[in-house]
Structure 1
Amino acid sequence: MSSVFHFTFVPWFRSVAPYIHKFRHQTFVVGLCGEAIAAGKLPSLAQDLALIQSMGVRVVLVHGFRPQVNEQLRAKGHQSRYHKGIRITDEVSLDCAQEAAGQLRYEIEAAFSQGLPNTPMAGATVRVISGNFLTARPVGIVEGVDFQHSGVVRKIDTAGILRSLDMGALVLMSPFGFSPTGEAFNLTMEEVATSVAVALQADKLLFVTEIPGIAAIPTQPVGPDNPIDTELSLALAEKFLAELPEANQPTNPAFYLQHCVKACKGGVERSHIIPFAVDGSILLEVYVHDGIGTMVVDEKLESLREATVDDVGGILQLIEPFEKDGTMVKRSRTEIERDIGLYTVIEHDGVIFACAALYAYPEARTGEMAALTVSPDVQGQGDGERVLKRIEQRARLAGLDSIFVLTTRTMHWFLKRGFMQVDPEWLPEARKRKYNWDRRSIVLVKKLHESAAP
């Protein structure tokens, strides 16, 4: 085995290990769109979910079947009809939905039963349990449109699902529900997955979808100059929703984002939108630091926000010990008051626990993240990363290609988070004139999208 493999595998495995520990015994609800199955992604997705379950994660899988039902309808010469993104389910559509659901459950159970040698499923025993875990009621007539056999979730059998998870099984749910009188209703995968995640108070809700995530500037298409926003606060996600067109199509980012917001408001701390087109996207999102899609985070107790003038005293108190020991350069109250709009803070019960400022250099399409500070009382809990993510969001929204930091003692923290070292001569001219050559700070740069030059 080559030494190159050793040098790449060992650091990678060590970087993944904290996430393995963190997620053990947690509950993930995965909403898998039918388009992923139609694209032939089921075998690899089943392997990845089996791998995640083997590391102690409790998994509930909710599958969609939109393209499969449409295919059945076309075969019968029947047209698909939707209103506001919800299928109008007549008798023919209901029959097609039942056939598609039965076929897909068979295919999914078969995928989790494979134990071929030389595959991630070798030696795995994944028990799949499915059943009537939810009851439904009709959508009814909305805006003069009769949705007929289309339904919405009425109640989740939380106790039944938890018993199955406690037995070590993977719970499989179809977007179908039954009324107390036995009437069948066609539901949407997105609503079922969200309702189940909220009912279970799941640790994560993951939508494996057609879209790559939410763009940094939501009204513009994803591309090299407008990459995915890897983390959104609940407040910012709601702001984006207000700016996006009505969510009637799955290819519209708001279609999934609205369910992420609903889940987070219902008590699910983290909701994700990830692309099925990327092989291993679930593993990349869950076990790699920056992830691959968009994560919406509910910040209940701690407020991650832009600073106001009322925060000046708290920021001064936070950074003072680091100024005294030489970790940071000294900043006056007047300077912080002047620049307060550039600061991001994490505040809990009126106490500032973390902060950072973004000084933009638009002519160079870059910005300096300065005064990144985390209280010693909460270090190691991820607050530094959360502030970094917010600064990256602010930089992208400002049209910047990169951010940079100057540091004398924390270089490795930044290197682990995608920064790379450059010569001080790289600095924008305006910043270079203020560079303290006696302090010999290291300059580290992080690109905000692939086409950006370091």
Structure 2
Amino acid sequence: MSAVFNFTFVPWFRSVAPYIHKFRHQTFVVGITGEAIAAGKLQGIVQDLALIQAMGVKLVLVHGFRPQVNEQLRAKGHEPQYSRGLRVTDEVALDSAQEAAGQLRYEIEAAFSQGLPNTPMADARVRVISGNFLTARPVGIVDGIDFKHSGLVRKVDVEGIKRTLDSEAMVLISPFGFSPTGEAFNLSMEEVATRVAIELHADKLLFLTEVPGIHVKPLEPEGDDNPIDTELPLAAARLLLSQLPAPQAPTDVGFYLQHCVRACEHGVERSHILPFSVDGALLLEIYVHDGIGTMIIDEKLEELREATIDDVGGIIQLIEPFEKDGTLVKRDRTEIERDINSYTVIEHDGVIFGCAAFYPYPEASTAEMAAVTVSPMSQGTGDGEKLLKRIEQRARAMGLKSIFVLTTRTMHWFIKRGFQPVSPDWLPEARKKKYNWDRKSQVLVKQL
């Protein structure tokens, strides 16, 4: 095995570890559009879901079948009918939906049963269990349109799903429900996935769709070249929905967004819209810092706060690579534990992505900003500026007149933010005694 591969694989795998630990035993509901299956993406999606489950995530998979039903209808000489974004399900459409659902369930279960050597499914033991987990009711007549056999979720068998998940099986749900009298109703994948996520109090709802995500503002000719917003607060998502016409087709901006908003409003903290066209989209969204799609959140995901003793391990993991390459001075665990109240951290999705320590010298009306560290995965996102502002706030609250840093490699970053170089003789006497003359760190001061 090449040294280059080792050099890239090991740091990457370590960077993923915090997410693996965090999501273990959590429940994710994944909605997969029929378009993804029609596009030949099922095999890759199944492999990724098997891997995610192997890392301890409880999975509920809800599949769609819009293009498959349309294909069945056209084969029978019927054109699909829609109103308000919902299918009008007559007798022919109901038969077509039942046929499509049966075929897709067979294909999905077969894909999870594969275990060919030298593939991601080798030695995978994924049990997929389907069942009558949904009770449905008719949509009825809306604006003069009779939706016939189209339905809405009336009730979710939460206990049945939880027992299945606790048995380490994956739950597969087709967008079909039955009334207490046994009448079948065609449901939408989006509504089913959303309702199941809400009832289960799922940790995530993920839609794997034909759209790349959401972009709130139109792309500017210069500057903003990101085609989507990777993170969208619930308030901003609500505002965007209020400005859009009622979605009619899956490619409309509000089509999946409306379900994500509803999920977040009812206790699902994070809901995601991501493109099935990107290979490994689920893995990239779940285990990479910025993800691949748009995440709607019911809280401020990135939290700037003062550190607690529970953060010691995360801080050590963050600063250790920078200590090894000489960017930071080595600090042992005992020192960090002793000074933990001096640290400010940035926590993103339960993982520490930035930290800085605050050491005041009131006798000299100044304070040191030390151990300033931002994870390589979030550099360039403004986390460094957030930490600097918080340290400045702490200094001003104590009535101090300046803050200073000692650095060997990041001098220009601090100078761009108002720091000026000074001689080490400027340092407060107590700090000057600890100055390492062999390291020759540059002293930079910012007046407040």
Tell me the TM-score normalized by structure 1: 0.71
Asked if 1:382 is matched to 2:348, the reply is yes
Aligned residue number for residue 419 of structure 1: 380
Match of 2:97 in 1: 97
Alignment of 1:306-317 (within 5 A): none
Counterpart in 2 of 1:132? 132
Q: How does 1:100-111 map to 2 (within 5 A)?
A: 100-111=100-111
Give the corresponding residue for 1:42: 42
Distance, in Å, in 1 between the alignment partners of 2:112 and 2:301 is: 41
CA distance in 1, matches of 2:26, 2:185: 30
Output the CA distance in 2 between the equivalents of 1:59 and 1:385.
22
- C-alpha distance 9-387 of structure 1, shift in aligned 2 (>3 A): closer
Amino acid across the alignment from 2:257: L
Q: What is the CA distance between 1:245 and its match in structure 2? A: 3.1
Deviation at 1:423, TM superposition (A): 8.8
Task: State the one-letter code of the partner of 1:417.
Answer: S
Answer whether contact 1:219 1:244 (CA < 8 A) is retained.
no
Structure 1: how far apart are the matches of 2:291 and 2:58? 20
Cα shift readout 1:77-105 (whole Å, capped 9, x = no counterpart): 10111111000001111110000000000
The corresponding residue for 2:210 is: 210
What whole-Å deviation, never above 9, does each CA across 1:292-345 have from its counterpart, x for those lacking one?
A: 11111112xx7989xxxxxxxxx9x98xxxxxxxxxxxxxxxxxxxxxxxxxxx
Residue in structure 2 matched with residue 180 of structure 1 by the alignment: 180
1:255 counterpart letter in structure 2? F
Q: CA deviation at 1:377?
A: 8.3
* 2:374 aligned counterpart, secondary structure: helix
Question: What is the CA–CA distance in structure 2 between the aligned matches of 1:385 and 1:128, rounded to whole Å?
Answer: 31
8 Å CA contact 2:301, 2:349 repeated in 1: no
Gaps of 5+ in 2: 307-339, 355-367, 385-408, 423-441
Matching of residues 131-210 of structure 1 within 5 Å: 131-210=131-210
Cα distance in 1 for partners of 2:138, 2:369 equals 63
CA contact (8 A) 2:347 2:353 kept: no
Q: Distance in 2 between matches of 1:271 and 1:433?
A: 36
Aligned pair 1:436/2:420, yes or no?
Answer: yes
Give the distance between the partners of 1:75 and 1:375, measured in 2 at CA: 69
Report the alpha carbon displacement of residue 241 of structure 1 after superposing the two structures with TM: 1.3
SS of residue matched to 1:279: coil
Alpha-carbon distance between aligned partners in 1 of 2:242 and 2:12, rounded to the nearest angstrom: 39
Change (3 A) 1:251 1:53: same
Partner AA of 2:198 in structure 1: V
| Distance in 1 between residues matched to 2:191 and 2:341, nearest whole Å | 40
SS of equivalent to 1:283: helix
C-alpha distance 150-377 of structure 1, shift in aligned 2 (>3 A) = farther
Please say if residues 302 and 347 of structure 2, whose CA atoms lie closer than 8 Å, have aligned partners that are also in contact: no
In structure 2, how many angstroms separate the alpha carbons of the residues matched to 1:37 and 1:285?
19
Aligned to 1:29, what secondary structure does the other structure show? strand
SS at match of 2:77: coil
Aligned equivalent of 2:75:
75
Structure-1 residue corresponding to 2:396: none
Instruction: Name the SS of the counterpart of 1:415 in structure 2.
Output: coil
- Assess, with a 3 A threshold, how the Cα gap between structure 1 residues 123 and 219 changes in structure 2: closer, same or farther: same
Once residues 386 and 233 of structure 1 are traced to their aligned partners in structure 2, the CA distance between those partners, rounded to angstroms, is 20
Q: 1:200 to 1:432 in 2, by over 3 A?
A: closer
Secondary structure, in 3 states, of the residue corresponding to 2:70? helix
Aligned-partner SS, 2:420: coil
CA offset at residue 418 of structure 1? Answer: 3.6
What is the letter of the counterpart of residue 348 of structure 2? G
Residues 216 and 8 of structure 1: is their aligned pair in 2 closer, same or farther, counting only changes over 3 Å?
Answer: farther
TM-score, normalised relative to structure 2: 0.72
The residue correspondences of 1:259-408 to structure 2 (distance < 5 A) are 259-299=259-299, 379=345, 381-382=347-348
Cα pair distance change 1:7/1:408, threshold 3 Å: farther
Tell me if structure 2 keeps the 8 A contact 1:217–1:226.
no
Contact 2:97 2:186 in 1 (8 A): yes
1:64 and 2:64 matched: yes
Return 5+ residue gaps in structure 1 as ranges: 306-314, 319-373, 389-406, 443-454
Letter in 2 for 1:416: M
Q: Give the counterpart letter for 2:100 in structure 1.
A: A
Q: Is the 8 A contact 2:129 2:164 kept in 1?
A: yes
What is the CA–CA distance in structure 2 between the aligned matches of 1:385 and 1:238, rounded to whole Å? 27
For residues 62 and 297 of structure 1, what CA distance do their matches in structure 2 show?
Answer: 21
CA deviations 1:90-131 (Å, max 9, x no partner) are 111111000000000000000000001011110011111001
- Residues 74 and 378 (structure 1), Cα distance of their counterparts in 2 relative to 1, 3 Å cut: farther
CA distance in structure 2 between the partners assigned to 1:249 and 1:86 by the alignment:
9
CA–CA distance in 2 between the matches of 1:219 and 1:151? 38
Q: Deviations for 1:120-147, whole angstroms, at most 9, x for unmatched residues?
A: 1100111110010001000000011110
Structure 1 residue 254: Cα displacement: 1.0
Contact kept in structure 1, 2:231 and 2:296, CA below 8 Å:
yes
Which residue of the partner structure matches residue 402 of structure 2? none
Q: Secondary structure of the equivalent of 2:279?
A: coil
Total equivalences in the alignment: 354
Report SS of the residue matched to 2:92. Answer: helix
Q: Distance in 1 between matches of 2:25 and 2:413?
A: 46
Amino acid of the residue matched to residue 249 of structure 2?
Answer: Q
SS at match of 2:137: strand
Counterpart contact for 2:345–2:352, Cα < 8 Å: no
> What is the aligned-residue RMSD (CA, Å)?
3.4
How far 1:415 sits from its partner (Å)?
2.8
- Going from structure 1 to structure 2, the CA distance change for 1:414 and 1:25 (only over 3 Å counts) comes to closer
Whole-Å Cα distance in 2 between the matches of residues 287 and 4 of structure 1? 22
The AA in structure 1 aligned to 2:290 is: D
Comparing 238-247 with 143-152, greater Cα deviation is found at: 238-247
Indicate the structure (1 or 2) with the bigger Cα radius of gyration: 2
Match of 1:232 in 2: 232
1:339 is matched with: none
Corresponding residue number in structure 2 for 1:403: none
